[in-house]
């Protein structure tokens, strides 16, 4: 039934897991997804029963027609048979449709529910979760794993119920028509089992290999597309083409191997089926020669018709195991996502943080992404409301980690982060983060229009507010030059915009949300002097009147900061204003003298 189709649909033993080892709790949890729809599922299964039986009435009617009316020359009876034939055809038509519709509805609704739960859960996960799981892996859990579970509902259950019913009904009908003939035809069942076992093994290997190769192909392709700019700049096209062709060829071979096994499968089953018919014909001859009175033309005809329908259910039933196996492995992976407890959570007694004035204190904060590798220690820093704090230091020093803690993307292992005296672990995440504006190093724009992107942090902002924000940061000019102005679509990640333009839109986005506190991880990339000037002005607007933490790379930003914290190796090593730190002649002074003065002089000509 549901499992016929090309090699692509073949889901043999995706993973090597034994069903016997499955934790029964897993079935219970899976069943929880089915429970709300159990009524519909049962009605679907009842319809299947009717479909299965009505599909088998045909050969029986043929036997009745031949033995009861044709041989006895009673043509009036044939009209009734013809009517009954037509009636069962219509019944079968209606119940088949209903059965498929209902069962698919249940399957698709479960898929919807599962994805809904998973997406909700994903959005609650903290950065550490995404640190530990690659995008591709998360995506495959929401797509193919959920589909594999759906297979159980929409094809596995159908197969078990409908095919078993077909099988039992055929066998009972055959036995009841002519038990000797029936037993002889059943002799082919072991042969069929052997043939299937042989194919199943070969197909499992071939299809696993094929899946692996096609995963390689997709991975290579994805990397090549993402990296095409680097490839072309280093003129690696030829070499990449070679690598790609090799994987492409391996994929072709694996697919051909799988297809050639698959191509043999149906014809082989046909042969076994014909062997059954051969046996029936031969044995009928034996019985007739032996003078057995009870073999009729109608029976032999009906047997041949039944044998044609006998093998598909057996074949499908033998594959149900694999569907279940794949689903169980997928279910484990789905629940692994659903069971991940977000590490940063609202405390049970968390309260709403009132609108913050913006006094920030780090009290002896210690933190590591992995508990055994400390990244920050003994961090003490304070910002008074409205101050601009610049974080400066070498790469890998821990600057981004400081702001990750401030935004509560991670919780520290030691110490506290206070905002207006509220420990940010004691307030709700929502009430804190909704007061934050964050502009990260790598500006992320979402697909949608420029306007949608600026409005991202405050969907209720009016068009006028969006435009005012853009104007305030000086982004209105280039936006006005775009083909559809604010309604110009931005493709994924804003790749059609320049780095500077993306920054300005990110600034407008932050300003539009009007946060109490701003976090800015300044982009290091060089931008043209015109945009640079725009960005400097934009920053002034953005920083005005709110506490800001800026990981600064621009000298102008650093200099205009109220206080500078020099961070090295996870510690604050110096603190003060630009002038104070220069006078001190320490690490900051070294950095300034070594790096920025040269730039300044160059700029001055
Ligand atoms: N997600 C993460 N998981 C594990 N370790 C991390 C992670 N992010 C950063 N680190 C490590 O933490 C340390 C501090 O990194 P951080 O990103 O805070 O540096 P940074 O000062 O912002 O550097 P840069 O100026 O290059 O942005 C580094 O040793 C880095 O390898
Ligand atoms: Mg950083």
Most confident residue range from 33-47, 118-132, 292-306: 33-47
Q: Are residues 155 and 67 in the same domain?
A: yes
Can you tell me the mean pLDDT for 434-457?
A: 87
Whose Cα sits closest to atom 17 in ligand 1? Answer: 400
Q: Is residue 305 in some structural domain?
A: no
Look-up of token digits 């591709």: 136
pLDDT band at 362 (very low <50, low <70, confident <90, very high): very high
Domain boundary among 275, 310, 343: 343
Q: Given this model, what pLDDT does residue 11 score? A: 38
Q: How far apart are CA 403 and CA 548, in angstroms?
A: 11
Chain segment 243-286, per-residue pLDDT in tens: 999 999 999 999 999 889 888 888 888 898 889 899 999 999 88
Q: Given this model, what pLDDT does residue 7 score? A: 36
Q: Given this model, what pLDDT does residue 603 score? A: 64
User: What string of DSSP letters covers 528-590?
Assistant: -HHHHHHHHHHHHHHHTTSEEEEE--SHHHHHH-SEEEEEETTEEEEEE-HHHHHHHTSHHHH
Pairing of strands 489-490, 448-449: antiparallel
Q: Is the CB of 375 under 6 A from ligand 1?
A: yes
Q: Are residues 159 and 248 in the same domain?
A: no
> Ligand 1, closest atom to CA 441?
27
**Distance from the alpha carbon of residue 363 to the mean position of ligand 1, in angstroms:** 20
Can you tell me the mean pLDDT for 59-69?
A: 89
Q: Is residue 557 in some structural domain?
A: yes
Higher pLDDT, residue 24 or 35? 35
**Distance from the alpha carbon of residue 141 to the mean position of ligand 2, in angstroms:** 30
Q: Which ligand is in closest contact with the Cα of 392?
A: 1
Q: Are residues 211 and 108 in the same domain?
A: no
In sequence order, which residues have a C-beta less than 8 Å from that of residue 168 and are 6 or more positions away?
Answer: none
> Ligand 1, closest atom to CA 402?
18
Chain segment 192-235, per-residue pLDDT in tens: 888 888 888 888 788 778 878 887 888 788 788 878 888 888 88
Q: Is the CB of 398 under 6 A from ligand 1?
A: yes
Q: Is residue 111 in some structural domain?
A: yes
Alpha carbon of 26 to those of 140, 145, 322: distances in Å? 20, 15, 17
Domain range spanning residue 232?
A: 179-294
Q: Is the CB of 379 under 6 A from ligand 1?
A: no
Higher pLDDT, residue 475 or 526? 475
Q: How far apart are CA 374 and CA 392, in angstroms?
A: 19
**Distance from the alpha carbon of residue 399 to the mean position of ligand 2, in angstroms:** 6
Q: Are residues 122 and 141 in the same domain?
A: yes
3-state class (DSSP) for residue 592: helix
Q: Is residue 455 in some structural domain?
A: no
Q: Is the CB of 401 under 6 A from ligand 1?
A: yes
Q: Is the CB of 131 under 6 A from ligand 1?
A: yes
- Asked if residue 486 has pLDDT above 70, the reply is yes
Q: At what angle do helices 57-64 and 297-339 cross, to 10 degrees?
A: 170
- Rounded percentage of the chain residues whose pLDDT exceeds 70: 93
Q: Given this model, what pLDDT does residue 354 score? A: 92
Chain segment 104-143, per-residue pLDDT in tens: 999 999 999 999 999 999 988 888 888 877 777 787 788 8
Looking at the structure of the chain, the number of domains it has is 3
Q: Given this model, what pLDDT does residue 592 score? A: 82
Q: Is the CB of 395 under 6 A from ligand 1?
A: yes
Q: How far apart are CA 474 and CA 479, in angstroms?
A: 10
Q: Is the CB of 400 under 6 A from ligand 1?
A: yes
Q: Are residues 418 and 558 in the same domain?
A: yes
- Asked if residue 174 has pLDDT above 50, the reply is yes
Q: Are residues 280 and 188 in the same domain?
A: yes
Q: Is the CB of 462 under 6 A from ligand 1?
A: no
- Name 576's bridge partners: 564
> Ligand 1, closest atom to CA 399?
21
Q: Which ligand is in closest contact with the Cα of 571?
A: 1
In whole angstroms, how large is the CA radius of gyration of the chain? 36
Classify burial at 123, counting beta carbons within 10 Å of its beta carbon; exposed 0-12, middle 13-18, buried 19 or more: exposed
Can you tell me the mean pLDDT for 557-564?
A: 88
Q: Is residue 125 in some structural domain?
A: yes
Can you tell me the mean pLDDT for 502-525?
A: 85
Q: How far apart are CA 592 and CA 581, in angstroms?
A: 10
Q: Given this model, what pLDDT does residue 504 score? A: 87
Q: Are residues 151 and 65 in the same domain?
A: yes
- CATH code of the domain covering residue 423: 3.40.50.300
Q: Given this model, what pLDDT does residue 4 score? A: 36
Whose Cα sits closest to atom 6 in ligand 1? Answer: 369
**Distance from the alpha carbon of residue 301 to the mean position of ligand 2, in angstroms:** 80
Q: Is residue 306 in some structural domain?
A: no
Whose Cα sits closest to atom 9 in ligand 1? Answer: 401
**Distance from the alpha carbon of residue 385 to the mean position of ligand 1, in angstroms:** 27
pTM of the model as a whole: 0.74
Q: Are residues 380 and 400 in the same domain?
A: yes
For a substitution probing ligand 1, which of 368, 401, 410, 549 has the most ligand atoms within 8 Å of its CB? Answer: 401
Q: Is the CB of 185 under 6 A from ligand 1?
A: no
- Rounded percentage of the chain residues whose pLDDT exceeds 90: 34
For a substitution probing ligand 1, which of 130, 398, 523, 591 has the most ligand atoms within 8 Å of its CB? Answer: 398
Q: Given this model, what pLDDT does residue 599 score? A: 66
Q: How far apart are CA 568 and CA 554, in angstroms?
A: 18
Q: Is the CB of 371 under 6 A from ligand 1?
A: no
Q: Are residues 254 and 359 in the same domain?
A: no
- Asked if residue 605 has pLDDT above 70, the reply is no
Whose Cα sits closest to atom 5 in ligand 1? Answer: 369
Q: Is residue 188 in some structural domain?
A: yes
Q: Which of 80, 562, 149 is nearest to 323 (CA)?
A: 149
Q: How far apart are CA 335 and CA 351, in angstroms?
A: 30
Q: Are residues 366 and 223 in the same domain?
A: no
Q: Are residues 36 and 143 in the same domain?
A: yes
Q: Is the CB of 399 under 6 A from ligand 1?
A: yes
Q: How far apart are CA 172 and CA 50, in angstroms?
A: 16
Q: What angle do CA 334, 141, 211 make, to 5 degrees?
A: 125
Whose Cα sits closest to atom 25 in ligand 1? Answer: 395
Can you tell me the mean pLDDT for 144-159?
A: 83
- Asked if residue 524 has pLDDT above 80, the reply is no
Q: Are residues 147 and 235 in the same domain?
A: no
Q: Given this model, what pLDDT does residue 262 score? A: 84
Is 440:392 a contact under the CB 8 Å cutoff?
no
Q: Given this model, what pLDDT does residue 526 score? A: 60
Q: How far apart are CA 547 and CA 599, in angstroms?
A: 28
* Averaged pLDDT score across all residues of the chain: 85
Q: Which of 494, 452, 460, 454 is nearest to 472 (CA)?
A: 454
Q: Which of 576, 594, 444 is nearest to 506 (CA)?
A: 444
Q: Is residue 503 in some structural domain?
A: no
Q: How far apart are CA 15 and CA 27, in angstroms?
A: 18
Q: How far apart are CA 25 and CA 274, in angstroms?
A: 45
Phi, psi of 417 (to 5 degrees): -115, 120
Q: What angle do CA 117, 119, 124 make, to 5 degrees?
A: 100
- CATH code of the domain covering residue 125: 1.20.1560.10
Can you tell me the mean pLDDT for 524-543?
A: 75
């Amino acid at each position: 039934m549901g499992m016929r189709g090309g090699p692509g649909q073949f889901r043999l033993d995706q993973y090597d897991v034994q069903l016997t080892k499955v934790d029964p709790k897993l079935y219970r949890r899976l069943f929880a997804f089915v429970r709300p729809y159990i009524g519909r599922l049962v009605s679907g299964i009842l319809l299947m029963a009717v479909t299965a039986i009505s599909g088998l009435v045909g050969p029986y009617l043929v036997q009745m027609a031949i033995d009861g009316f044709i041989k006895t020359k009673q043509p009036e009876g044939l009209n009734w048979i013809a009517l009954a034939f037509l009636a069962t055809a219509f019944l079968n038509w209606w119940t088949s449709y209903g059965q498929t519709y209902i069962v698919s509805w249940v399957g698709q609704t479960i898929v919807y529910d599962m994805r809904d739960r998973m997406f909700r859960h994903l959005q609650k996960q903290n950065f550490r979760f995404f640190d530990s799981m690659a995008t591709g892996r998360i995506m495959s859990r929401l797509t193919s794993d959920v589909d594999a579970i759906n297979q159980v509902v929409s094809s596995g259950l159908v197969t078990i119920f409908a095919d078993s019913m077909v099988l039992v009904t055929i066998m009972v009908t055959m036995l009841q028509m002519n038990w000797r003939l029936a037993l002889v035809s059943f002799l082919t069942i072991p042969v069929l089992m052997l043939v299937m076992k042989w194919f199943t093994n070969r197909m499992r290997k071939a299809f696993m290999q094929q899946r692996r190769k096609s995963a390689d192909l997709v991975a290579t392709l994805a990397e090549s597309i993402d990296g095409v700019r680097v490839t072309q700049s280093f003129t690696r096209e030829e070499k990449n083409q070679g690598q790609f062709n090799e994987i492409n060829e391996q994929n072709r071979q694996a697919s051909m191997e799988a297809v050639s096994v698959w191509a043999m499968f149906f014809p082989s089953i046909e042969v076994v089926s014909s062997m059954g018919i051969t046996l029936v014909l031969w044995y009928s001859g034996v019985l007739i020669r032996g003078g057995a009175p009870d073999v009729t033309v109608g029976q032999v005809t009906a047997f041949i018709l039944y044998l044609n329908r006998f093998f598909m259910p057996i074949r499908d039933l033998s594959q149900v195991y694999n569907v279940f196996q794949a689903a169980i492995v997928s279910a484990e992976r789905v629940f692994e996502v659903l069971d991940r407890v977000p590490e940063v959570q609202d405390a049970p007694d968390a309260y709403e943080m009132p609108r913050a004035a913006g006094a920030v204190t780090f009290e002896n904060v210690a933190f590591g992404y992995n508990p055994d590798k400390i990244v920050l220690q003994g961090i003490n820093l304070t910002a008074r409301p409205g101050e601009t704090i610049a974080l400066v230091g070498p790469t890998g020093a821990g600057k981004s980690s400081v702001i990750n803690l401030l935004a509560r993307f991670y919780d520290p292992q030691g110490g506290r982060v206070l905002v207006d005296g509220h420990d940010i672990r004691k307030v709700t995440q929502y009430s804190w983060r909704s007061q934050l504006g964050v502009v990260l190093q790598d500006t992320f724009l979402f697909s949608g229009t420029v306007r949608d992107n600026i409005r991202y942090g405050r969907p209720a902002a009016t068009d006028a507010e969006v435009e005012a924000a853009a104007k305030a940061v000086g982004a209105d000019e280039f936006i006005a030059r775009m083909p559809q102005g604010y309604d110009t679509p931005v493709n994924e990640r804003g790749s059609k915009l320049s780095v500077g333009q993306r920054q300005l839109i990110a600034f407008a986005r932050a300003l539009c949300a009007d946060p109490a506190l701003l976090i800015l991880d300044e982009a290091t990339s060089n931008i043209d002097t015109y945009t640079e000037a725009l960005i400097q002005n934009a920053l002034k607007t953005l920083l005005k009147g709110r506490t800001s933490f800026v990981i600064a790379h621009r000298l102008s930003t650093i200099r205009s900061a109220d206080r500078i914290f020099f961070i090295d190796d996870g510690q604050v090593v110096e603190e003060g204003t630009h002038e104070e730190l220069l006078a001190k002649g320490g690490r900051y002074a070294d950095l300034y003298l070594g790096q920025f003065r040269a730039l300044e002089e160059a700029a001055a000509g």
